Structure 1
């Protein structure tokens, strides 16, 4: 996973990375995806290194394939995934790797409608019954987000809880990683939170820390 010298064909600022990402999602939503950077030439060009323009920390859900929903290709995205996009040391270290070694200008926390991990957490909060095995650890990490959503609105549904969890996850990246916080403070990096809508494929901005405006 070696870094690569700056490639001018790649967005190298938070604003350019954000624009590129959302233009790709727009193409996907409109069913005019261009499937860039997926040919043999691109594959060969990456053998000496990588220079992705975005780190995506998303849920492991099979419906949330980042390169597809943002119409990207090989070498474009540094992707980290856990169920419910919960942060542990390995996930945080992976995101920091993108920041420190690959100089990625945009970090995205990506949640989605009807998240199974959030649904399981809501059930645990309501019933007091925790799931078995290591799934319990996932539920414990999501519980603060579910409780915060319920404090805001006692009738909160799953999707409102997902939005709150995306916001809290993005904020935690800055709180728990001096490396990421320094990147945002210097203007080299932005951290955003998106929720993905399963019905229409649209990614919606719910959190922003950093210069994503051109």
Structure 2
């Protein structure tokens, strides 16, 4: 059975961000849910060099568990693509959703606004701040800052040359509601040598949560074709 390492997004966990997949596809895949540093059940606090820390943690887990694919959402997708550039021996391919290889210039102000909002969310939405503390513990703000600083100020952009150098199979399953994610999927498809694009109609940034039945259906089909080769 295909092993899928599951990588969540900012302020989520593998269980919360992939609940519709972990439950519905348990008979189809061997899931290895990974809570990234500073998130959920992990005991490793987030550090300033979050990209290196998180990819190191994933490599270590893969060395323990064995060969498989990565299924990543948003932050998790960014980490998955970084690993595809310099893959551990256990990595067989990556599936990404909510992914862009770059931050469009027009979106940079929005990224700064998002950072400021999240870091002051206890003022804007105290109920959400409480949920974050319950889910990630009292150091959740340190985690949020580490990830938001990475995604806002040091985003790991993937150039055409970098994408062309990826030898592993890549499956991109972005939603169609956000134009920048449609453009991102087209860019990835144009440059990664071994790529499959599976757009999720009627879905936004979290396509696996927005349209779980369609997303799961496509994952099952992928298991029978690309993931089994």
Q: Establish whether TM, by shorter chain, passes 0.5.
A: no
Report the TM range for the smaller structure's normalisation.
0.3 to 0.5
TM-score for the superposition, normalised by structure 1: 0.37
TM-score calculated relative to the size of structure 2: 0.35
Higher helix proportion (structure 1 or 2): 2
